[in-house]
Amino acid sequence: MSVLPLAAVERIARKAGVERISAEALEELTISVEDIAAELVKEIETITKHAGRRTVKPEDVKIASGKM
């Protein structure tokens, strides 16, 4: 079961230029997006802890995004 709404992922796909996407492809894309987001959050957590903080800051997200 996905956490992200399928409609939100479909909007992202359309914004990226996808004109049509099957329901099955949309479900697979949603799973992939969630997996990538989970890995990004793990990296953000590592960066935040390394900085001696418990609060994630925008620069943590930027640093982690650059590593992916």
* Domains of the chain and any CATH numbers: 6-67 (1.10.20.10)
Per-residue confidence (pLDDT) for residue 2, from 0 to 100: 85
Nearest to 61 by CA among 32, 38, 41, 31: 41
For 21-43, write each residue's pLDDT tens digit: 999 999 999 999 999 999 999 99
Q: pLDDT band at residue 67, thresholds of 50, 70 and 90?
A: confident
Burial class (CB in 10 A: 0-12, 13-18, 19+), 60: buried
- Rounded to two decimals, what is the model's pTM? 0.85
